[in-house]
Structures are given as structure tokens and as C-alpha cells.
Amino acid sequence: MNHPKEDSFLSQVGPPLFLVGIFLVNFLSRIILSPLMPTVKEDLRIGHDEAGSFFFLITLGYCTGLLLSGFISSRFKHRRAIIFSSFAVGAALFLISSIRDLWGIRLGLAVMGLAAGFYLPSGISTLTSLVSQRHWGKALALHELAPNLGFIVAPILTEVLLGWCSWQGILAVVGVASFVAGGIFILKGKGGDFYGAAPDLRTLKGVLKEPSFLLMVVFFSLGVGSSFSIYSMVPLYLVSEKGMDRTWANTLLALSRIAPVATAFLAGWMTDRLGAKKTLKVVFLTAGIATAMIGVVPLPWIIPIIFLQPILATAFFPAGFAALAKVGSPHMKNVAVSLTVPLGFLIGGGAGTACLGVAGEAKLFFLGFILFGGLISGGAGLVRYLKLVDDKR
């Protein structure tokens, strides 16, 4: 596996764009329930806590998929793992769209999360094999364009299609998109024609003994929580607690995710210039304060906070993945991703979202946001203990 010799990032940007498309649909499948949740909650007659548990099930499946991804890529190569993930996500979404039983929906959400989890370790390994190391920050920022676009597309897609079909019909539409993305990657996508490393017992012991890996679990929990969990529960918070109209809440949700598209590239540039550690310190401190403000400010002031918070939270991911790529030996990169990221999503995205749901059911939604923000800001103080390979900054 050799990196391209070209110096210009623009000369290397073509092949990673196919991965961006795959990641966009992959991410959209996991967050589309967020803008749909007021409708889903009414249709299924469930409470805030049950709504939060749906996201926990998706995240639990996703984390399991991430943990198992190393076994798949070590046998079938990263390219086939990416393709399999796309088609399996599509099939799971069709399953969910065809059933009405609550337990069946829960099972379908967990399976969909499982299938989606097979992508990321192979996607990151393939991406970093397509560009030179000096451009990893920008390449990872480009990759993070996918979830940022997904945050925008999800509420817009919801409001456009709800006039034509049910919420389950919208899941079917996303399933079709997943099949299409996988098919295009088969025909036009490049990279990933190498095997990953399966996490054997000795590898797991080595990873768990590395303090920086454990710190990265904490950081990804905070980073994912500041972005994914807040996004998942804000529409429900605005509609049920602030009395906002669902369409207006979803419109704000979509508009608030436009600026973070540029933020991801700025964060990638900051990571390359300042180093991952300095970037992480700034992100945790500022994103935590903005998250806490969601639960503090009154309705007239919550709109600018809703726009500011995702701008700051999104900046975590280019720096977070760049730091993760520099923890431990290079050949263990996909193992590091497949261990660190799932735990981060399970804690920050799954348990964090569920806890916000419980707080909402107890009429303490505002306190949930305040405490969550405090935890995120606390991450800035832990960055000093992170040790990165070949990081002189």
C-alpha cells in the first residue's frame, strides 16, 4: 500500500469523493429518524424516553458493526466491506419500512446500525491510502463533508417527502439511495484492495494498555455526543418543550448545518497547521459552552445558539480522526478506529441521546443539555495527556 507521490491535494481529491457519497447515505440512514421523530412519536404513541432508545438501538448496532468490521476487512478486503455495508443498510431500511410491529422496528434499527458500522474503519483506511499523509487533515475534512451534508439533507428530505408518503416510506427512499451508492462504488470507486487487520487477543490487549487509546474513547464520546446526540434530540426539544412548529424546527435544524460544512474544512486546515491536540482543546471548550447554552437561554435567543453549536461541534471530527491515526503503530490504524469509534458512539451517541430522552421525559430537558455541555468542556483539560506518534506540536 503506497501513498501517491503528488504534492497537490487537488490532484488526489477525485477517488475520495466516491467514499464521501457512500458515507453520506450511510450517515443519513442513521440520523433520518431525528427530524422524523415528532411524527414517529405521534404515530407509534411513544414517549421521549422510548424515542431516545431508538437512537440507542441504532448506535448499539453501529458499534457492534464497527467492532466486527476488522474481521470482515481482514477476510474480504476493505473494498468489499464498503460495498457490503451499503447493500446491507439498504436491505435493513426496506425491512423497517415494511413492518408496523414496535419490536420489529427495534430489531430493524439495530440491524441497520450493524450494517452501517461495517463502513467506517474500511472507509478511513481506504481514504488515507488514497492521499499522502501530509494531506490527511484535509482529506478527513472532505470525508466529514458527508455527515455535515447529511445533517442538512435529513430535515429537508423529511419535510419534502412527508407530504407524499409516510415516515416509513422515507426510510425506503434512503434504502434505495444506499443501493445506488454501493452500485456506483462498484463501477467507479477506487481503493481498498488490501486487507485490514483483525483484532486478535494480543492486539486487543496492546490497544487497551495504551492510555492514549482510552483517552480517544473519551474524546470520541464527547465529540459524537456534541454533534450526533444534540442533533438527534433538538427537534423534539424545540417542539415539545419550546412549543415550536415541527416544520419550523426542522427548517432551523437544516439551516443550522449549512455553515458546519465550511467549518469541517477550516478544522482540517487548523489540524494540519496547529496540530490535532491544540484543535481539540479549542473545540471541546467552545462546543461545551454552546451545548450548555441550549438549555439555558430562552426561546428568542435559542435560535442563534442552535446555529452556533453545530459549527463548533463539527470541528471535532477532522482533528479527532487525525489524532486517532497517530495513536499507536500505523498498521493498527483500522483496529484503532474499529475499537475507539464504536465505544465513542455507544457512550456519546447512544447513551448520551438516551439520557437526554430520559431527562425530557422527567421534564428536565434543559438540565440534560447543561450537564452534557459541562462534560464536553471538561474534555479540553484531558487533551494534555494525549500522546501522538510523530506529533511535534
What pLDDT is stored for residue 203 in this prediction? Answer: 65
Q: How high is the pLDDT of residue 2? A: 46
Rounded Cα distance, 356 and 237, in Å: 10
0.75 exceeded by pTM: no
- From 369, 366, 353, 361, select the one nearest 47 (Cα to Cα): 361
Give per-residue pLDDT as tens, 185-223: 888 877 777 777 666 666 666 666 777 888 889 999 999
Q: Buried b vs exposed e over 136-151: b needs ≥16 C-beta within 10 Å?
A: bbbbbbbbbbbbbbbb
- Provide the pLDDT for residue 392: 46
Q: Tens digits of per-residue pLDDT, 142-159?
A: 787 888 788 888 888 998
**All domains in the chain, ordered by first residue:** 13-385 (1.20.1250.20)
Distance CA 156, CA 146 (A): 15
Q: What is the mean pLDDT of each run of 10 residues along the chain (393 residues)?
A: 52 73 92 86 78 84 85 83 94 90 89 92 82 70 80 88 89 94 86 70 68 87 90 85 85 86 77 85 94 89 92 87 74 66 82 86 88 93 82 48
Query: What pLDDT is attached to residue 328?
Result: 63
Q: Quick one: pLDDT at residue 169?
A: 92
Asked whether 141 and 221 are in contact (CB, 8 A), the reply is no
- The pLDDT, as a whole number, for residue 40 is 84
Cβ 56 vs Cβ 350: under 8 Å: yes
Q: What is the pLDDT of residue 334?
A: 60
pLDDT at 107: 93
